[in-house]
Structure 1
């Protein structure tokens, strides 16, 4: 029998191994968010249409839904709120608020498009953070009011961490893979 602690990647193969544990705030926040993003990718690695497998009825939660949801989350906080861009969500809408999960179907093009969208939003967010003069850059959110880049980074770390917990269970249900 294998223990869960034995199921993680060896440090020399784990893209999260170099996360800073000391130093300036911005590099640590960027590293921690990058590690959470890498965890999502690891949880989904090697799967295609299986990414759309639902958790348990009646839930529409799936790994593919998480990728689509997190693409919309990245888009919302970095493009809409901090950059002030007119960038509607890619997957959800007022008429289909759960479109990110409901539209996560086992189709190769849907899977490929979700990864393209997520990677585009992550790249935009990384460029935005790199160009920001400091963590006190602010934007206005209809839900929270004024938010800083610092808060958004912390919120995204929390958002990914929560959903990566879901991803642990979804991946194990899909093919038995644990750890990662």
Structure 2
């Protein structure tokens, strides 16, 4: 992984389909971009940038400075998509063996972190926000056991599972107000805003975990 990419991740204290959830909000004509290490401000066309993101052209979700202001919901969804992208980025290019390598005393692995993130998407968006019974969620609802990846699942399989769960989360949340609340059996009353903030924290934290594991894996390759 290029050093610059790791440096940006550390600076941002963070960790899939970028910006697909931003198709709904009304965007202004311009935004202000402030690249790292530069004093000047450069106006950009926000709608044009969004279109480029959705076409997966040159947008780099690892440096989220293209949209730095805007409505609260737009910024929350933008940063959530950024952390989703960062987490996936930590496992791309790893072999199946490397992705499962245990380099810490716990059962944490790079592929297991992405598997767990897919569970978190289902738990908070399908079950809590959407009100679906756990039996109707489109994947296993197994809590801490969600870190376990079966032998027949590949890195590509787990990434695809996370992407499906993220896409469904966007669909469920799209027409729900940030102030709308739901009940959680342990936490109590939570709003969609709180769920967004929780998921940003969760995925950023796990992307940091996985980034360290990847650096350790890279070190073993060189020895």
TM class by shorter chain equals 0.7 to 0.9
Corresponding residue of 1:157: 200
Deviation at 1:111, TM superposition (A): 3.1
Corresponding residue of 2:52: none
| Runs (4+) off by over 6 Å | none
Corresponding residue of 1:173: 216
Corresponding residue of 2:124: 77
Structure of greater Rg: 2
Q: How many residues get paired?
A: 167
SS in 2 for 1:147: strand
Q: Distance in 1 between matches of 2:204 and 2:61?
A: 16
Aligned pairs for 1:100-179 (under 5 A) are 100-101=146-147, 103-104=148-149, 107=151, 109-132=153-176, 134-176=177-219
Deviation at 1:173, TM superposition (A): 1.2
Gaps of 5+ in 2: 9-34, 36-57
Q: Distance in 2 between matches of 1:14 and 1:108?
A: 32
Q: Distance in 1 between matches of 2:180 and 2:78?
A: 19
Deviation at 1:154, TM superposition (A): 0.5
Q: Is structure 2 residue 61 aligned with structure 1 residue 15?
A: yes
Gaps of 5+ in 1: none
**TM-score normalised by structure 1 residue count:** 0.80
RMSD: 2.6
Corresponding residue of 1:37: 84
> Cα 1:37–1:26, aligned 2, differ >3 Å: closer, same or farther?
same
Which structure has greater helix proportion? 1
Q: Distance in 2 between matches of 1:113 and 1:4?
A: 27
113-122 vs 78-87, which deviates more? Answer: 113-122
> Cα 1:22–1:84, aligned 2, differ >3 Å: closer, same or farther?
same
